[in-house]
Amino acid sequence: MNEYHLKLPWPPSNNTYWRHCRGRHYISPKGTNYRKQVTDYIEQQNLDIKITSRIKIVITANPPDKRKRDLDNLPKAVFDSLTRANFWDDDEQIDDFRIKRGEKVKGGSLDITIWEIEDVH
């Protein structure tokens, strides 16, 4: 079972990641920039490996400040960015997922541990 450790920047909120105009949805400039940051990180770490196995993932969310935040809003931008960066084939592969709150960090960050697991189906 392979294990990967990632340290990604704090993602934009869902409200600023997506934009809507005339019934269409698209990624905002903030979202596009976040995707680029994640892609650059994945490429620098030589992790653009397009995992195809089932996945277990634990995210420790280190917020940029002490504001109240819903942790369940964080993963979508991260998962979409990891898909776009060719780390994995699709976030549909995630069978086991946990997110926990970490310590406040300047600028915010996400400490992510990912395991490839055996197909349970």
Q: Looking at domain 3-117, what is its CATH homologous superfamily?
A: Holliday junction resolvase RusA (3.30.1330.70)
At 13 the pLDDT is 82
pLDDT in tens, 101-112: 999 999 999 999
Which carries the bigger pLDDT value, residue 15 or residue 52?
A: 52
Range 41-62 average pLDDT = 96
Range 91-98 average pLDDT = 96
Domain ranges in the chain? 3-117
**Range list of β-strands (E), the chain:** 3-9, 18-21, 24-27, 54-62, 94-101, 109-117
For the chain, report the end-to-end CA distance as a whole number of angstroms. Answer: 17
Q: What is the DSSP string of 75-106?
A: HHHHHHHHHHTTSBS-GGGEEEEEEEE----T
At 120 the pLDDT is 63
